[in-house]
Structure 1
Amino acid sequence: MAKLKITQVKSVIGRKKDHRATVEALGLNKIGKTVIHEDTPQIRGMMNKVIYLLEIEEVQ
């Protein structure tokens, strides 16, 4: 199964409460922090909701 490297590139200050919660649920809390998750429909949905705050890269 493929993995996704997700990096937060924008701040959550002033964003909607549910967008802030989604970023936190992904395991991100600072600009520049990177996490790796399995490529699942749940993670894809979370990423799509806050795509404007993230940078996504597929890793093997």
Structure 2
Amino acid sequence: MAQLKVTLVRSAAHRLPKQRAIVKALGLHRVNSSVVKPDNDAIRGALFKIAHLITVEEVK
């Protein structure tokens, strides 16, 4: 199964509470922190909501 590397490139401070909650739920803490998540519809939906704060790479 494909994996996605998600990196927080902009701060979640001063964002909507729902967006901050998504960042926290994904396990992202500080700017430039990264996590590897499975590529599924639930994760894709969460990433779509905070697309302006993150970068996403596909990992083998």
Q: Report the TM-score when normalising by structure 1.
A: 0.98
SS in 2 for 1:58: strand
For 1:7-18, what aligned pairs fall within 5 Å after superposition?
7-18=7-18
Q: How many residues align?
A: 60
5+ residue gaps, structure 2 = none
One-letter amino acid of the counterpart of residue 41, structure 1: D
1:26 aligns with 2:37: no
Identity of paired residues, percent? Answer: 42
After TM superposition, what 4+ stretches of structure 1 lie above 4 angstroms from structure 2? none
CA distance in 2, matches of 1:14, 1:37: 25
5+ residue gaps, structure 1 = none
Cα RMSD of the aligned pairs, angstroms, is 0.4
